[in-house]
Amino acid sequence: MSQSTEQPSERPAGRAVPTSADVARLAGVSRATVSYVLNNTSAVRISEPTRRRVREAAEELGYVPHAAARSLRAGHSRMVLLPTPHVQVGPLYSQFFNEFQWALRRLDYTVVQYGSVGLEAEEAARAWAELRPVAVVALGESRLTGQGVEILKRSGARAVITLGTERVEGAHALVMDQGRVGEAATAHLVETGRRRIGVVVPEEPGLAMFSGPRLEGARRAVAGTGATVVPLPLRYEEESANALAARWRALGLDGVFAYNDEYAMLLMRALQDADVAVPAETAVVGADDLLLGRLLRPRLSTVRIDMVIGRELAELVDRAVREPEAPPRTSDLMASRVVRRESS
Amino acid sequence: MSQSTEQPSERPAGRAVPTSADVARLAGVSRATVSYVLNNTSAVRISEPTRRRVREAAEELGYVPHAAARSLRAGHSRMVLLPTPHVQVGPLYSQFFNEFQWALRRLDYTVVQYGSVGLEAEEAARAWAELRPVAVVALGESRLTGQGVEILKRSGARAVITLGTERVEGAHALVMDQGRVGEAATAHLVETGRRRIGVVVPEEPGLAMFSGPRLEGARRAVAGTGATVVPLPLRYEEESANALAARWRALGLDGVFAYNDEYAMLLMRALQDADVAVPAETAVVGADDLLLGRLLRPRLSTVRIDMVIGRELAELVDRAVREPEAPPRTSDLMASRVVRRESS
DNA sequence: ACGCGTCACTGACACGTGTCACCCTCTCGC
DNA sequence: GCGAGAGGGTGACACGTGTCAGTGACGCGT
């Protein structure tokens, strides 16, 4: 790349990106004045005619300030970084995320999702730190370590918050207690008299962070009740479900928590095709309370998950940013409750 | 919009963010040397002992370069901006996006999703331009205008690409021909002898960009065949579907394209509950080829949509960045084909 | 004439980085 | 002895912005 010193002859489009200096020149004022006008700084008084001239010049040139230069000078930004998950997320999650983003913007933050596919934990943290975000809200799935938190804080992040199943040293944590989902579903099955309870564990990679805790929760629910839990690996494919259904009677199960409504629908169809009566012979419970589950016959029982609303989380971020010295707190991100329909 | 000018700004942690100057001091070399070493610039020769001293100093301080300062100095960045949709996107789309991001990163681009909720078209474009991205890949839904493209290009963006249903002046366009989906489904219904064909139009806001073209496509499919198309507004709720099913016979429809598989499942259940025989009395076709559709009885016919793979789009972006002067091109993002099962 | 205050504006620096043009010190060939 | 060349580094500038301290002009009271 050759540098052009004065006359930018290499611009292909024939025009350089306008800066505040260009605006100043066109308006016949100093650059400082341009800055004052465009940020309408209250501490300095600029006459109305000058203000207008500056605004018109900016408009004419199509001037847009340079965010990087601005935050470099300011020494900080109001950028909140959300490492993008590379896992499939359900509609519940994506709605929550949208709400969260919207709320942060209301609080005058700039939300940036930034993917870091294929990087190791510490390396990813370093990549995020380069952007000098004021806060980082990371999914548990992004495998942020205590080391990573340290890197981020050292690079100026005033708040690091994890959304996940477990805490990370030094970071605020919003715990999604996935265990409660499995626990609620299984407790319900036990209460309605089921004794041998299957728990579907999806084989799809990336779901482990959800399925593991849900299985653990199920185990907690049966502890001391005499009922037992049987893990059931399952791929989200018809053949896999049919194979499972074929050996259903051999397994001797009278109830199943199917991970979520989609897996439940898949399994329920396979069971019915194999002449296993639902709920008479085997009760089925899903999770997420999808509309589609209500359309089945029998209607699918489910665990309804209510997530913290985005606005609440946004306010938590804002508080954490304003009080970086406050000790990391842990709180619940979601609540679960069983919705009983006909399949259990 | 009140600005919070109040600014804590005192470093509470007592330690500033380390810069390359700090590294230089600690290593006992100049800042230039630090820069050369850490970017291992090949044109300049630095002795191995010095290199090691610099690397160790950087490690000890936890130095992370400042991306903003870097790209300010460089005059450009390799950031690709993806305005975040605030519409619900299906799994098809989100998988495509992940793949796309991954491919861009392979090409050494930095992918940033940036939401601009609640801003008007031109204002949003200005906000994106502040980040000085080298390329912008916008969903049609983000309502990018020709004016917006102009702003972005003037701010240094070398490529602007829209993913949507229609072209935008000055931008490369990847057209999702939603019309073809409706056309394929409806043509199939006509070919199998249906004459009065309903087309479900979701009432949910944000889906209009898909449903409108699909309806138009359906109209194209019946043109000259003697068959007719009837738009059917529907909310994604059981009551809405039941109400529609109740007046089904009055409508005299013998076929329906239900927008997608989810709406199809909703409608099919309502039809069956209202004793409308599928497919004998009315044929039903969905779209997206969800697994769940295959579980219905009768199995749901659908339109399978194959999207351009992410890598392809990433290469298109790369080419557009490298040849900014090339005229905007338009190409297809997806292909549709009918998968006939039992419901039609 | 002078001091003082206000108004409207400007000059200059700092933010953190990359890179170009030098500079110094050796060594070698003759 | 001395120029040539190479090895190993450094000084200084530029990128675009925000903001502090200052500056000239002007009005006003004495």
Q: What is the pLDDT of residue B10?
A: 40
Q: How confident is the model at residue B13 (pLDDT cuts 50, 70, 90)?
A: very low
Residue of chain A nearest B2, judged by CA positions = A108
Residue of chain B nearest A241, judged by CA positions = B295
Query: What residue segments make up the domains of chain B, in order of their start?
Result: 20-65, 74-175+308-335, 178-306
Interface test with B, best of A96, A113, A263, A296 (most B CBs within 10 A): A113
- Find the Å distance, CA of residue B177 to C1' of nucleotide C25: 69
B299 or A83, which is more confident?
B299
Nucleotide closest in space to B38 (CA vs C1'): C18
CATH of B20-65, one of 1.10.260.40, 3.90.79.10, 1.10.287.10, 3.40.50.2000: 1.10.260.40
Res. B104: pLDDT tops 70: yes
Hey, are the CB atoms on B151 and A236 less than 8 Å from each other?
A: no
Interface test with A, best of B2, B72, B105 (most A CBs within 10 A): B72
Q: Does B114 touch chain A (CB under 8 A)?
A: yes
- Find the Å distance, CA of residue A151 to C1' of nucleotide C22: 37
Q: What is d(CA B85, CA B94) in angstroms, rounded to the nearest whole number?
A: 11
Q: Measure the N-to-C terminal CA separation of chain B; round to a whole number of Å.
A: 55
Res. B27: pLDDT tops 50: yes
Check for a shared fold between A76-175+308-335 and A178-305.
Answer: yes
Q: What is the pLDDT of residue A70?
A: 95
Res. B4: pLDDT tops 60: no
Nucleotide closest in space to B32 (CA vs C1'): D10
The top-level CATH class assigned to B178-306 is alpha beta
- Mean pLDDT across B258-287: 97
Residues 318-337 of A with CB under 8 A from B: 322, 324-325
Protein residue closest to D9, using CA and C1': B33
List, in sequence order, every residue forming a beta bridge with B334; answer none if it has no partner.
B307
CA distance B172 to chain A (A): 17
Instruction: Identify the H or E element spanning B154.
Output: helix B146-154
- Find the Å distance, CA of residue A76 to C1' of nucleotide C9: 28
Are B236 and B262 spatial neighbours (Cβ–Cβ below 8 Å)? Answer: yes
Residue of chain A nearest B11, judged by CA positions = A156
Res. B8: pLDDT tops 70: no
- Which residues of A158-301 form beta strands (DSSP E)? 159-164, 172-175, 196-202, 228-234, 255-257, 283-285
Residues 143-172 of B with CB under 8 A from A: 150-151, 153-156
CATH number of B74-175+308-335: 3.40.50.2300
- Find the Å distance, CA of residue B47 to C1' of nucleotide C26: 15
Hey, are the CB atoms on A325 and B12 less than 8 Å from each other?
A: yes
Q: What is the pLDDT of residue A158?
A: 94
Size of interface A-B (CB pairs under 8 A): 160
Note down pLDDT in tens along chain A; length 344 residues. 333 333 333 344 456 899 999 999 999 999 999 999 999 888 888 999 999 999 999 999 999 999 999 999 999 999 999 887 666 666 677 778 888 888 998 898 988 888 766 667 788 899 999 999 999 998 776 778 889 999 999 999 999 998 877 788 889 988 888 899 999 999 999 999 999 999 999 999 878 888 999 999 999 999 999 999 999 999 999 999 999 999 999 999 999 999 999 999 999 999 999 999 999 999 999 999 999 999 999 999 999 998 877 888 899 999 999 998 888 888 888 889 999 999 99
Hey, are the CB atoms on B111 and A111 less than 8 Å from each other?
A: no
Res. B89: pLDDT tops 70: no
Give the rounded distance of the alpha carbon of B51 from its chain centre: 44
B57 beta carbon to strand D: under 7 Å: no
Is residue B62 classed exposed, middle or buried when 0-12, 13-18 and 19+ CB atoms within 10 A define those classes?
A: middle
CATH number of A76-175+308-335: 3.40.50.2300
Nucleotide closest in space to B33 (CA vs C1'): D9
Q: What is d(CA A191, CA A285) in angstroms, rounded to the nearest whole number?
A: 13
Res. B1: pLDDT tops 90: no
Comparing C-alpha atoms, which of A253, A293, A287 is closest to residue A269?
A293
Q: What is the pLDDT of residue B141?
A: 67
Hey, are the CB atoms on A84 and B101 less than 8 Å from each other?
A: yes
What's the mean pLDDT when you consider all of chain B? Answer: 89
Fold of A178-305: Rossmann fold (3.40.50)
- Mean pLDDT across B195-219: 93
